[in-house]
Every structure is written in structure tokens, then in C-alpha cells.
Structure 1
């Protein structure tokens, strides 16, 4: 695997930071390449060396975070729901600006939908509709219920500027998941 030049990484990080900061100020559709160029202190041409357009930049930024959540989910696979939720909520806390902007911004519904799709995929293996409380229920309905609820709670947490600590959020989410999925 070839090593990526630090200047490239620095430029890409500056652009990712710039898009998040700009989205906190205005709707994504209103952000121009010139805005990104000015905020990241790079030329317009430099942006196009790394990304096709602002949508490609946003898409790659979103995918980076979804992929990291996937890695963390795999690492927490053998943990109970409460402990596993700490892994995620700690990541949310560490990346507060990104998630708060993505979930509170009207200009980024794509992220919410992408996050929901990811959670539906992850909860497929957690919901058992063959026994217990969920016996006989439509599995897709239960999975979508759980994933939508999870997104809604996380969105609430960011929109309300973290009314509880990420540890309390994890404990509460984990407890709720245990009640629904087990």
C-alpha cells in the first residue's frame, strides 16, 4: 500500500473541515466551490484535484464516518448492547461538529438517510422475530422501527446540544435495544 503524501492529507482535511464549518453557517446547496476554496485556503483547482465537486466531497466525508461506525460496530459485535452503545456514542461525542451539522442541517438529508440505511443493515442480525417478544412480527418492520428510533434519538441528542452525557445516552440506548432486540 502506497503512502499518501502528508500535504494531500492536510488539504483533504482542510476541505472536510471547511465544508462542515460552512454547513453550520448556511444550507449546503448555497455553498460554492469558491466558498470552500476561501475557507480551506486552497485554490479552486486544488479542490478539483481531489473531488469532482462539492457533492463528491460531502459524500466522501459521510462515507468516512459511516465506515468508521461500521468498524466500531464489528469491534463491538461480542459486547452487550449497553457496552456496544458506548463505543458509538463516544465516537459521536468525539466527532460532535460533524454529526451535529449533519443531523441538524436541513441541507444534509442525505446523511440522515445514509445513516438510517446503515443502521437497518446493522440491526438485521440483531432482531429475532422467531421467538420472544417479537415472535410473529414482520422482521423488516421491527428492524426499521429500531433503526428509525435510534436515528431519532441520536438526532434529538445533537439537536438539543447533548442534554445528557454520551455515557448516559449509551446506557439508555443500550437498555432500550436490549428490550426490543432480545
Structure 2
């Protein structure tokens, strides 16, 4: 894999940070390319060297977070639910600004509604193959129903935790949510 110039990475990170910061202040639709450039302290044309428009920038930002969550998923599959969830909640905590902004009410902050849908789809995909059919507790439940139930519950708890200022540490959340997922999946 070819190395990417550190200046390019630094610029892209500044642009991603700028768009998230601006989204905490106003609706995404109201943010202009010039606003992003000013916040990131770059020339407006620099944005177009890296992204087609502000929607492409936001999409790439979302993709990078979903990719990182997917990488955690590949590693965490080897562990029990509680141990597996700790790195997720730590990731949400470390990236609080991004997740709090993206999971904010669409009317409040203008965060694109597709983020929650994409996050849910990534968790549903991650839960595939995790349904316990051997013990008999889920033999009468359709896989699609179980996956939607578990995924929606998980995303809902993450939203609640973030919107309420993360009232419990990641390890406590992992234990609580892991116990619930063990019971249902």
C-alpha cells in the first residue's frame, strides 16, 4: 500500500474536525465550503483537492468511523460479549464529539439521518452468526427479527449513553449491554 503524505492526512483530519465542530453549531445544510475552509484554516480550493463537496467530506468521515468500528468487530468476535464491547464503548467515548453530533436529533443539529441507519446496518451485520440456536432459546425467532431487535437496542443504548453525557464508564456500559445481549442473542 503506497504511503500517503502526512501533510495530506493532516489536512484531511483538519477538514473532518472542522465539519464536525461546525455541525455542533448549526445545521449541516447551512454550513458552506467556505465555513469549513475557514475553520480548518485552509484555502477553499484545498477542500476540492480532497473531496467533491461537503457531502463527500461528511460521507468519507462517516465511512472512516464505520471502518474503524468494523475493525474492532473483527477482533472482538473472539471474545465474550462483555469483553468484546469494552473497546466499542471506549471508541464511542474517544470520539464523543463525532457520535454526539451525528446522533443528535435531525431537527436540532441537522445531522444526516442516514448515519443512524448506516450504524444500525453495520451492527446488524456484525451480529450475524451470533444468534444462539443451540440452546433452543431462539429457535422460534426469525433471524431477521432477532438481528433488528439486537441492533436497534444496541444503537438505542449508545444514543442514550452519549446524549446523557456518558453517565457510566465504558467498562460499566460494556458489562450492562453485554449481559443484555447474552440474554437475547
TM-score by length of 1: 0.95
CA distance in 2, matches of 1:8, 1:114: 27
For 1:145, the equivalent position in structure 2 comes to 149
For 2:70, the equivalent position in structure 1 comes to 70
Q: Please state if 1:172 is matched with 2:176.
A: yes
3-state DSSP class of the match of 1:97?
helix
Q: Please state if 1:111 is matched with 2:81.
A: no
CA distance in 1, matches of 2:24, 2:46: 23
For 2:25, the equivalent position in structure 1 comes to 25
3-state DSSP class of the match of 1:163?
coil
Asked whether the equivalents of residues 120 and 143 of structure 1 are also in contact (C-alpha less than 8 Å), the reply is yes
Matched ranges for 1:154-173 at <5 A: 154-173=158-177
What are the superposed Cα offsets for residues 68-109 of structure 1, whole Å, 9 maximum, x if unpaired?
111111111110000000011111111111111111252221
For 2:35, the equivalent position in structure 1 comes to 35
Aligned residues: 181
CA distance in 1, matches of 2:144, 2:7: 46
| Structure 1 gaps, min length 5 | none
Asked whether the equivalents of residues 22 and 31 of structure 1 are also in contact (C-alpha less than 8 Å), the reply is yes
CA distance in 1, matches of 2:120, 2:70: 13
**Structure 1 residue runs of 4 or more that deviate by more than 4 Å after TM superposition:** none
CA distance in 2, matches of 1:167, 1:110: 28
For 1:44, the equivalent position in structure 2 comes to 44
Cα offset, 1:124, TM superposition: 1.3
What are the superposed Cα offsets for residues 45-70 of structure 1, whole Å, 9 maximum, x if unpaired?
10000000111111111111111111
Q: Which moved more, 1:107-116 or 1:46-55?
A: 107-116
CA distance in 1, matches of 2:150, 2:77: 17
3-state DSSP class of the match of 2:52?
coil
Matched ranges for 1:2-13 at <5 A: 2-13=2-13
